[in-house]
Amino acid sequence: MSERVSGRTAIVTGAANGIGRGIATRLAEEGASVVIADIDRKAAEATAETLRADGSDAVAVGCDVTDRSDIGAVVETVRSRFESVDILVNNAGVIRGGTFLELSAEEWETVLDVNLTGMFNCSSQIAPVIRDTGGGSVVNISSIAGVDMSYAGPANYTASKWGVIGLTRHMAWDLAEHDIRVNAVCPGGTLTPLIRERTTPEDRERARRVIPLGRYGRPEDVANAVLFFVSDEASYVTGSKLVVDGGRRFAGRYEVLE
């Protein structure tokens, strides 16, 4: 363990399960104090307890990223416990709906509210805290849908993830003067509990065959990309996106959900 982020405090949204949990775990392994922010407070506490059992400093907070008052409460909790906030990972996201003609206005709004507006809500309240404690790093989790499209997912998901890329670039431009770097990670198919629920073993085998590296991604693959962006190794990197998909974007149409 190299402890590349030792002494820093990281807030990770949507961190109770899946990719978010993988990110929080990796940052904790590298020495960060981690705030597990998730709408599912019980699951967030379970994740934090696991990290604490492994010797990490972790705290769970309930947070609905569409509710700005919830985010304000997260900020107050972090300020009362930690000396600084150095890292924000905007990971919380949802997927809802079917094909474009099946997509309801409610489904459109829900996905955009969580995946894009939720990212703005968190960043706009937490970035000033990072600025006031000397600068740091923000990583926004987009998707390969944000550099192409989601062939198996709905249009609202694709739109939200393209929006994340645009938001990332503009945040990087505006926040550079405050020593805050902002980058995006674009995962491909990552074998999380959600993917297992939404796919069959046959789906996953078909996907594996079209991925050049021959397997689904794992949460730790995404977590390692996040770790690079928030570490000193990326101190001259901002406004960038890193695709983590095993080369799948070379394989034509995606056959299962990202």
Could you give the residue numbers annotated as active site?
157
Contact 65, 118 (CB under 8 A): yes
The pairing of strands 136-141 and 87-90 is parallel
Closest CA to 25 of 12, 43, 8, 38: 12
Q: How many residues in total does the chain contain?
A: 258
- Can you list the positions of beta strands (E) in the chain? 9-13, 33-38, 58-62, 87-90, 136-141, 180-187, 241-244
Handedness of CA 162, 140, 123, 105 (dihedral sign): positive
| Cα separation values, 123 from 144, 151, 194, 227, 236, Å | 22, 29, 25, 18, 21
Residue pointed to by tokens 């079917």: 98
| Cα separation values, 138 from 19, 93, 130, 171, 206, Å | 16, 16, 9, 9, 35
One-letter amino acid identity for 63?
C
Token output for 98 = 């079917």
